[in-house]
């Protein structure tokens, strides 16, 4: 869903892939911040917008209108570095007889992202059943590089209408190789923050492979000095005059 209330603390961004979005990315680059792009996906009504808004503003606002796919930004501190984070809220995934139906807008968001939050609601078993397929779909759109994903089970406060045991979510996330968080967006900010924080950390590490000890060691090995242009010209002249000398002496 789309936030009705006007949020002055959140900068709204154009659709990913558009020229304006590229310009926005560029600006962040100029500011010298590394950028982490996160897409939030899941079935309709699981609390995707509520989750994004909670993460960005610390507030839970109950009233939203249907999601038009907004992109928001904020900065976070990860291991002493300030990162710019863009969070893309997406329309709810539809399910048809022959499986998932992800529109082109959603696919574009997933392709654009460096990491994905897959959300389901513990009050909606069908939203939980989508997780495996959604995860597969996300990885298929990023063939060749395993995208960091966190699975979030939302609405933990609604105990009386619970349909999914969080243990199931934990097990599934384990099988998929993802982190798992059970949260109540309405009641707890810290869990929401932690879910995004873990994801940002994973992306940050992935973006800096050169900081691994192995790479650092190789970068310390001195490379042979390449000859400069002056040196090359001198050697070329030497070789030429030697050749001329040989020719004249024949
Ligand atoms: N009790 C409770 N309600 C929540 C929680 N999170 C979201 N909601 C409510 O669930 C409803 C749906 O939340 P949204 O954030 O709009 O869900 P969405 O996934 O963005 O929905 P779509 O835009 O249709 O895809 C809203 O009425 C929220 O107030 C939660 O943790 N607890």
* Residue of 57, 130, 68, 122 lying closest to 93 (CA atoms): 130
Alpha carbon of 45 to ligand 1 centroid (Å)? 5
Question: 49-67 b/e with 16+ CB inside 10 Å = b?
Answer: bbbbbbbbbeebeeebeeb
How far is the CA of 48 from the CAs of 18, 54, 69, 77, 235, in angstroms? 23, 10, 11, 23, 67
Residue nearest to atom 8 of ligand 1 (CA): 47
pLDDT at 23: 46
Indicate which atom in ligand 1 lies nearest the CA of residue 44. 25
Residue nearest to atom 32 of ligand 1 (CA): 155
Residue nearest to atom 29 of ligand 1 (CA): 62
pLDDT at 71: 84
Cα–Cα distance between 103 and 171 in angstroms, integer? 29
Indicate which atom in ligand 1 lies nearest the CA of residue 155. 31
Residues with CB under 6 A from ligand 1: 1, 44-50, 62, 64, 66-67, 91-92, 154-155, 157-158, 184-186
pLDDT at 233: 67
Residue nearest to atom 13 of ligand 1 (CA): 47
Indicate which atom in ligand 1 lies nearest the CA of residue 46. 19
Taking residue 237's Cβ as centre, other Cβ atoms within 10 Å add up to 10
* Residue of 98, 53, 95 lying closest to 193 (CA atoms): 53
Contact assessment for residue 69 and residue 17, using Cβ atoms and an 8 Å cutoff: no
Indicate which atom in ligand 1 lies nearest the CA of residue 183. 31
* Residue of 86, 66, 67 lying closest to 76 (CA atoms): 86
Probe target for ligand 1 pocket from 49, 52, 56, with the most ligand atoms within 8 Å of CB: 49
Cα–Cα distance between 80 and 76 in angstroms, integer? 10
Give, for all 250 residues of the chain, the pLDDT tens digit: 544 433 333 334 344 455 445 544 443 543 678 999 999 999 999 999 999 999 999 999 877 666 656 788 888 888 889 999 999 999 899 877 777 778 888 999 999 999 999 999 999 999 999 999 999 999 999 998 889 999 999 999 999 999 999 899 999 999 999 999 999 999 999 999 999 999 999 999 988 766 555 544 444 444 445 556 666 567 667 766 665 554 444 3
pLDDT at 110: 96
pLDDT at 109: 94
Q: pTM score, two decimals?
A: 0.77
* Residue of 190, 93, 217, 200 lying closest to 149 (CA atoms): 200
Taking residue 224's Cβ as centre, other Cβ atoms within 10 Å add up to 5
User: pLDDT (tens digit, 9 = 90+) per residue, 182-200?
Assistant: 999 999 999 999 999 999 9
């Amino acid at each position: 869903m789309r936030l009705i209330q006007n949020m002055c603390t959140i900068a709204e961004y154009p659709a990913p892939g558009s020229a304006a979005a590229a310009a926005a990315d560029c600006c962040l680059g100029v500011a010298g911040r590394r950028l982490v792009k996160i897409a939030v996906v899941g079935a309709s009504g699981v609390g995707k917008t509520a989750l994004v808004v909670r993460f960005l503003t610390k507030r839970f606002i109950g009233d939203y209108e249907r999601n038009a796919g907004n992109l928001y930004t904020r900065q976070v501190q990860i291991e002493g570095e300030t990162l710019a984070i863009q969070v893309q809220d997406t329309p709810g995934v539809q399910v048809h007889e022959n499986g998932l139906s992800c529109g082109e807008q959603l696919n574009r968001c997933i392709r654009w992202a460096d990491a994905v939050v897959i959300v389901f609601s513990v009050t909606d078993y069908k939203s939980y059943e989508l997780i495996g397929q959604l995860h597969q779909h996300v990885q298929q759109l990023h063939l060749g590089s395993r995208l960091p994903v966190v699975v979030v089970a939302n609405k933990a406060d609604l105990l009386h209408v619970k349909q999914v045991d969080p243990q199931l979510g934990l097990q599934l996330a384990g099988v998929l190789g993802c982190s798992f968080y059970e949260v109540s967006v309405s009641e707890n900010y810290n869990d929401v923050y932690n879910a995004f924080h873990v994801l940002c950390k994973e992306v940050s590490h992935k973006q800096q492979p050169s900081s691994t000890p192995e790479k650092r060691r190789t970068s310390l090995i001195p490379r042979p000095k390449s000859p400069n242009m002056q040196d090359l010209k001198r050697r070329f002249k030497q070789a030429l005059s030697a050749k001329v000398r040989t020719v004249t002496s024949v």
